[in-house]
Amino acid sequence: MKILLVGNGAREHCIAETLKKSKQSVLYSYLKSKNPGIISLSKGFETGDYSDLNKIKSYTHKIKPDFAFIGPEDPLSNGVADLLISIGIPTIGPTKKLARLETSKSFTRSLLKKYKINGNPEFGVFDKKNIGNAKKFIDGLSQCVIKPDGLTGGKGVKVQGDHFRTKKEAFDYCSEVLQAHSFVVVEEKLEGEEFSLQCLTDGKTAAAMPPVQDHKRAFVGDKGSNTGGMGSYSCENHLLPFLEKKDIEEGLKITQKVANAVYKETGEFYRGIMYAGLIKTKYGIKLLEYNARLGDPEAMNVLPLMETDFVDVCGAITNQKLNKIKIKFQKKATVCKYIVPDGYPDNPAKNLKMQNYIMLLLNRRKMGFTPQAQGLLHALG
């Protein structure tokens, strides 16, 4: 079974490891930059930009994969899934139109509103023509959240009380966002515990993986800038300390309804990952956002626990038989912690050798080298 993996990050390395657990898999990879972990698991690889569709098409014709798995959001927003599907390659990952669940927050909010799906906060969508109305909308909210309508690497959302204080600052940020994005979304601020519910879907059936909670802030004590994720954990009972089984069921129900709504709205079945960022409030489970791919680092919490053959799961997605397969996960807790450059995310140090940096951190903490650290240092040369 030849598999083409598109992506070069830690998430894709974890996807590669999980696919390689299957005896039926032969992995090939297309990467924006070299990742020694992914390359070591691949029979062949090609490097290139995710927007270079001709290069991706040429490499796909060369290796003739049985299916493809797209890891990050960039190739999805560049239409790589559209390309692969158009040349007959079953693909785990939505088309550009369906990836708007992540790339356009206004699309997702409007979809939930149109199809009367639970989970929306009070929200408004504004552009340069009606930006004046945003001030009145903000004034009508107790506190607000400002979201650019587009990809920002998990760093564009600003929350009142955390990133700004006054409603004037909120309105000023709306104007700033519209310099780079066509729309800005203003939402009421929700209070509660956030968590990630990553779901597999074939467009008809949605299946939830164990919930994960990540830490977005750069520093200890929930302080500092938002990041793409500093670390995450999951629990052995496949819940979280603040969750009950009914909360997971409600989150899955929202995603199932969204999958149905996406098909009604576009006429296309969503095959891939629908990753819901949810929050448990005193009013129930609410939706913060959707991602159109596995989380990074959340993928590293759930995929190593998967007992079911991941290649079989992928086949069930592409063949729309997800309701026919029982996906099992080990009853174990997981923790994932990131090593990031000094100054991350606002002004990260660059051009430093990771090997020296890891040794510095380990020495600083007076820790010995774990087998995993030794393996990483070896891979980095």
Amino acid, single-letter form, for residue 208: A
Sheet holding 2-6, edge to edge: 44-47, 26-31, 2-6, 67-70, 91-92
**CATH domain 191-337 topology:** D-amino Acid Aminotransferase; Chain A, domain 1 (3.30.470)
- Stretch 112-132: mean pLDDT: 96
Strand locations in 73-212 (E): 91-92, 123-126, 144-148, 158-159, 184-188, 193-201, 206-208
Q: Give 181-225 pLDDT, tens digit per residue.
A: 999 999 999 999 999 999 999 999 999 999 999 988 888 888 887
List every span in the chain annotated with CATH 3.30.1490.20: 122-188
In the prediction, which pLDDT does 329 show?
98
Distance of CA 250 to the CA centre of its chain: 20
Task: State phi, psi for 352 to the nearest 5 degrees.
Answer: -105, 145
Q: Give 364-378 pLDDT, tens digit per residue.
A: 555 455 555 555 555
Q: Are the beta carbons of 81 and 96 closer than 8 angstroms?
A: yes
**CATH domain 122-188 topology:** Dna Ligase; domain 1 (3.30.1490)
List every span in the chain annotated with CATH 3.40.50.20: 2-92
Burial status of residue 282 (CB atoms within 10 A of its CB: 0-12, 13-18, 19 or more): exposed
Asked if pLDDT for residue 380 goes beyond 60, the answer is no
Amino acid, single-letter form, for residue 223: K
In the prediction, which pLDDT does 381 show?
47
**In whole angstroms, what is the distance from residue 218 CA to residue 340 CA?**
10
Q: Give 9-22 pLDDT, tens digit per residue.
A: 999 999 999 999 99
Asked if pLDDT for residue 354 goes beyond 90, the answer is no
In the prediction, which pLDDT does 214 show?
92
**In whole angstroms, what is the distance from residue 191 CA to residue 278 CA?**
11
Q: Give 129-142 pLDDT, tens digit per residue.
A: 999 999 999 999 99
In the prediction, which pLDDT does 17 show?
97
Assigned architecture for domain 2-92: 3-Layer(aba) Sandwich (3.40)
C-beta atoms surrounding 36 within 10 Å: 13
**In whole angstroms, what is the distance from residue 277 CA to residue 231 CA?**
15
pTM of the entire structure? 0.90
User: Which residues share a beta bridge with 164?
Assistant: 160
CA contacts within 13 A on the Cβ side of 239: 11
**In whole angstroms, what is the distance from residue 325 CA to residue 320 CA?**
11
Average pLDDT value over all residues in the chain: 92
Residue percentage of the chain with pLDDT more than 90: 80
Q: Are the beta carbons of 274 and 199 closer than 8 angstroms?
A: yes
